[in-house]
Structure formats: structure tokens, C-alpha cells
A and B are shown apart, each in its own frame.
Chain A
Amino acid sequence: MSLPASRRRGIHLSLLLHFTRQSLVDRYAGSVLGALWAFIMPLVMILIFVFVFSKIMGGRLGEVSPALGEYGYSIYLVSGILGWNAFSNTVTRMSSVYLERAAVIARVDLPLVQLPLFIPLTEVLIFAVSFSFFIGFLLLLGHGPGPEYIWLPLILAVQMLLAWSLGFICAVLSVLLRDVRELVAVAMQLWFWLTPLVYVMGILPQWLQSLMLLNPMVPIVNSWRDVVLYQQAPSLVGLGAVALLAMLLLGLGLLLFRRVEAELRDLL
């Protein structure tokens, strides 16, 4: 068993903010719109979903929430997908974080556990801006925020904790075996369709619906919809179970990391 070479210093908050800034602002250095590009993509997505899908599919899926009429499906879609995007981007980006920054990690003593924190931070920021835009649209429809929005930070926190734990494990494994990075991309695609994001749970056969209970993203997506679409408090049992699972995964990830850190650093 290896002995620690030194006290590893904690990460500076300023370094974390620097990385966040780098992935949000510096990435677009030299472009006219700059950091706006980071937000344009999610905003375009919302616009497409709201204005295109409401016209095409809105009529057929009107039963989602009769009060909202043709926009019901759009809200159903966007309320789930905004959260999903933050989740999926975090896991995907985290899984390659060590490989992408190998050049720096191999030369500068960076705390590897905290280093990837800038990714969920970035994604939360993008999510916050996109979600504000979404709220604006909801206000236009007269379906604006109520007191149940107090639950949103909790849902976000549980979701990002899960993303962080999964992403961290993938990040460690992808250094040991490069295939993991590609595998994650494929898995996230599958997971997207195994989660009721674009379809309604009710269209699935009963056996598949009960199988869906194993998908930790189902309670999360349902919670987003509970608050945004149905304007009610989310099911805390589901959220609690996901939080527990996330902590378990995090513990597992940290154990794995401690076991392979020396080798991991040699490989970068």
C-alpha cells in the first residue's frame, strides 16, 4: 500500500472558479458573443421544443395537462430535458476530465478529487440561465412559479450529486481503460431513451414501467415535472432514495480512487 507523499493541499476556491470561468468564458475568447455561446445552445433547444413541438405534437398529447392546452407537451418536455441535460453533460464531461487535462495533471500537483468540481458548477450555471429563460416563458403562459419552487434547489442538488458520483467513477475508470469514455457516451444515449423524457410513462407496458423504478433519473425527472408542470411538491421518498444511492456511489468512487490514485497519476 502506498504512503502519501505529502499533505495534499485543498483546492483553492479561486482555482475552481478559474476552471469554471475557463470552460464558460475563456473557451470563447476572441469571439464576439463570448460566453453567450455557452447559453445559446440550451436557449435554442427550448425555443424549438416550445414552438415547434407544441404545434406538431401538442394536440395529440394534450392529456398531459389539459389546462395548458397545446403547450402542455412542450412544458412536459422542457421541464424534464433541462435537468437531464445538466445531468448528462456533467457525467459525459467528467468522464474525460482527467484525460483532457492530462498535460496539466502530469506537471502540476492538482487535487484530483476536487478538480472536476468545476464541471457541475459550469453545468449548474448554464442550467440556471436556461431555466430562468424557461420561467419567463411559463410566466407568459400564466403558469408562473409558485411556492413549490422552493423544492427546486433540492432536486438540483440531488441530481448533481448523482451526476458527480457517476462522473467521478467514470473519470477514474476512463484513465485506466480509455474505452470507458466512449462507453459513457453510448450509455448516456441509451439512458436518455430509457427515461421518460420525450414520452409519457403511461405509454409503456406495465412490466417496463415497474422496471423503470430502477432508473434513478425517473424520480428526478418526475420531481422536476411535479414542481414545474403540476405545481406540487415532489415525492421526497424518491428523491431520498436517489440521494442515498448517490452517496453510496460517491463512497465507492472515493474508495476506488484511493486504491488507484498512484497508478492513475502515472498513466496521465
Chain B
Amino acid sequence: MTASAFAPTPLVSFQHVSKRYPGVLAVDDVSLDLFAGEVHGLVGENGAGKSTLIKLLAGATPRDSGDILVRGRPAALHHVRDATRLGLAFIHQELNLVPYFDAAENIFLGHAYPRRAWGGIGWRTLRERAQQVLDQLGADLPLNLPVSRLAPGQQTLVSIARALAANADLLVMDEPTASLTNQEIDHLFAVIRTLQQRGVGVLYISHRLAEIFAITQRITVMRNGRIVTTQPTARATERDLVQWMTGRAVDALYPPRSPATTTPLLTVNRLSGAYCRDISFTLHAGEVLGVAGLIGAGRSELLRMLFGAAPVTDGEIVLHSAGAAQSIHPRSPAEAYRLGLALAPEERRTQGLVLTRPIYENTTLTFLRNFARGGWLVDRRREIDVTVTLGERLSLRSRSPQQPVGQLSGGNQQKVVFARALAGAVKVLLLDEPTRGVDIGAKQDIYRIIGDLTAQGVGVILVSSELPEVLGLAHRLLVLREGRQVAMLDASSVSEEDVLGYCFGLMNEAMERG
């Protein structure tokens, strides 16, 4: 019905498309039209079939039945080359750029190089052409640096420029903002709007619902391989989306905050390191202390310093236990764990887990000695028992404790990281982007776990780029900018806009007091 508002022939039309993998119908009778000049949001939990749908369109995997029409004509999509030739371009979370090549080379990768009279490569011509493409995007970035040295947002722009250079008229963007700062996201959205005006269609996939509402005109929700609904964005609410995605009515996303105690747990005095300077705060038992700031503000660095994984140059960390205060200087994560600290690192797959090893081995890795006979002989029965118990407590979904962690979804992987911390006696939990790439159901589980832990007196320091999440969970909010502490705010009374104001340096605490 809404189709009439757009061009009559869809750019891409899925017609009763199905794809079965052994044991699961990944895409089940999906029909979906994408139009020129439309940004179309695609949302769903992990495993809902979004990725498979994209793979079918990209020609990366064959469909079992149904048709995919491109500009009204049935398309033979047997290989990624076919999709490229038809003007489809794909921008993934992990960008397919050659890290050592500069932006110009990456933009024209796969095209013939311009030649000079004597046969050499016309680098200047190449750069000029690249600059023209980037100008169309309003993108300003250095052309003479390898892309590995560009900011994540700039890298995303390079891959969009490559799509433009290939004359793509449908861009499929899969979690394009996962590693971007808010500023970079704003710029990306401006670019998307420019493309849209030029008649390019965009299929936009994201777990971040706020972005879906900000940039799309229509939203399609998938669940268990089927399309639940396609709606004009203006007619849907965040609550509707969550309900469609999970198939159940949702209570409030964030559990009610249990009141924090006034018992100090961890006091940090003028702590300084390579990227942070003069950080001071006290974390109380049962408190969630949120840490906000732009990427590069020193948030992860602060956690790593507390955890003994980054050098502390000055200042003091005091751990309070049973009324006694003890100055601590963890020099390694091993020491931090012994003191009752635990960290869920920012990059789950590269820093958090040993993906090839089973769930139970990952769970017991840190406190392995406690689960071994005599402290050295492994006792698998006991490890598995502990893993099963913790798994139930955390609503971990897996085939068995012996399943390799790499086979789990992002949310379940994060739960294994939590299980590892809970396998010991954790007092202070340091969480770095605990819900990145995690679907909405698992997010709710993680929020519930954080709530349970604080109710038991654990102190949590939470770093997250999703402001609503920090504001929904934290009691107080520490704002960092360029490695310095700019504000300590009451999370229940501050607005998102104000926090951003502090992050960007538009506000400071003195102003508020005054």
C-alpha cells in the first residue's frame, strides 16, 4: 500500500524466497520490495534470518525456492560478481578493505588502473578520481594514508565510496555503525541521506533501534526466518519493534534499579595512565557506575588500568573489604582477579574468549585451580557441573557445555564471559560494551544479570556507547573527555542531551553548578 509512494518498479524484489540449512529453515517464504531512494530498515534477533537473506541477495549462497527480481527482471545470482554487476553493494561490519592500500586504491579496487604514457600507473589520476567520488559524499579524508590508519568511520566512508565508484544503486549495510563514534554516525547518516536523494536505495540492518528510527522510512521485522511485518517507520514505536522481534510483550527493557548502598567498595584517587589523567571516584557496593564518553575518551583505558592490563603512572586504587581499606596495584589481570575484580573486555571474540574451546573450559579458565583436584589435575565433571549451574543462572542457550564457544551467538558468548567472572568471588565487575552486537532478548538477560549482581552487593563499572543503556542501568555517570574526568552525574535525573553536551565539551560541571 505504501509502495505507491515510491517508484513503481522495486529495485529489488524478493518473491516467496526460501532457504533451508540442515535442520533449520533459515529464510521462510520471504517477500520484500526495496525501492530506489528508500532507506529500508531490517531488524530481528540473531538467527532471525537477516544474514541469510543478505547472502541470498549477494549470491553467496543459493536459494532453494522463490525469485529475486532486480529492477523487475529475475536475477541469476550465483556469485558475488553477479550481484556487483547488477548494481548491488554490501557494506559489512568487518569492511572488505585492503588495510595497507590507501583510500584511492581501495575505492577503485577491481577496476583497471589509469595508465600513463609509458605504461606506469597514473597515481595522480587515480587520486583525482577518488577525490571526486569522496566529494560526492561530502567526505574529507586523507588519500595518502593506508586505510588501516584511518578512523573506523572514515573506513566505512571508503567502502561506501567504493560502492559508488562501482555505480551501485542498492547499498546493503550490515551493522555499519558497530565501531563508529556518535559523530561519525551523524556523518554517515548525512551521507546516506545524500545517496537517498540521488535515488540510491539502502537496506539498513542494525541492532540499534534508535538508528533504525533515525534513518529509515520503512522497517521490516524478521523472526525465525519469516517476515513478521513491514511498516512505515513513522507508524512504529520502539516497543512495537521489540515485541515483533521477540514475539512476546516486553516489560521495561531495563530492570528497576535496586538502591545502591553507601558502603564504599573501590576508591580511585587521581589515577593517571597513558591516556587518562586524574580520575577520582568511589564505587559503592551494589552500585552501577556508568562511564560515558566518545571513543578515545579513555573509557576502556580506565577499565584496563583498574584491571592491571594497562600501566598506572600515578594515583591510587583502594579496595575496601569488610571495613578494611587496602591500597592495590594490580600489575596483571591475574592479580586483579585474585583481588576480586573481573573484566568483560570490549572485543568479546578477540579479547574475551577462546573460541575454539568448549564453553566449560572458557568458564573455568580463570579460576581453574579451584575446580581441579589438588589444584592441578583437571576435573571435567566438576567443571561441567559448575558451568551448567552458572548457565542456568544466566539463561545461557547452548547445545551442551562441551560446545565450542565460537558456535554461540554474540549474546550467549557474552554470557560465557559473565559465567567466567561469576565462577570466582567477584566483587567489582568491569564491563566494556557488554551488549555490543547482542540481540534484544540476550540484552534483556544481561541487564537482568547486572541487576541481580548489584542486588547481591557487587559493584559494576559499565562502559557503553549506547547512552540509553548507561542511563537505564547506572546509578551515577562518570563522563570522560580526552582522558579527563569532566563530570559525575546522577543518572536518574540527567538527560541524554546533557550527557552528550559533556562528552563533546559543550558543558562542564562548573557551568551546571553555576
Do the two chains bind? no
Binding site for A on B (CB under 8 A): none
Binding site for B on A (CB under 8 A): none
